[in-house]
Amino acid sequence: MKKFHHMGLTTTETQPNEDYVEPSKCWVTDPNTHPYRVELLRYEPESTVAADFQALPHVAWEVDELEPYLEGKEVVIAPFDVDDPPFARVAFTIEDGLYNEYMKFYPGRTWFGGK
């Protein structure tokens, strides 16, 4: 299964109800609450995420398993868990010049804090 989840866009302005992604040092909004399924990302100055990645949008996909979607592709951010306890395991690739996020949700979890 591969299902559209959201489009991620970078911002420099603090957003209401942001959640913090520790591994990438980034604040994010919940795309489940946006009418067009947009996630806004605001990176901390010490983020290790590459500047070119930060500057471009990404498309996120909900998948049953990460590995089949990473196989043979250029992985730009290796798989990592999001939140504690984690709600998803995610990884990012670049395909045809577009950044893609693949998200495998843990059972019963949909976003930060069990949202």
Residue 115 pLDDT > 60: no
Structural domain count, the chain? 1
CA distance 1 to 11: 30
Rg (CA), the chain: 13
For residue 62, what are the domain limits?
A: 2-114
Summarize the confidence of residues 101-111 as an average pLDDT.
94
Contact 13, 43 (CB under 8 A): no
pLDDT tens by residue, 22-61:
999 999 999 999 999 999 999 999 999 999 999 999 999 9
**Torsion angles phi and psi, residue 83, rounded to 5:** 80, 170
- pTM as predicted: 0.94
CATH code of the domain containing 70: 3.10.180.10
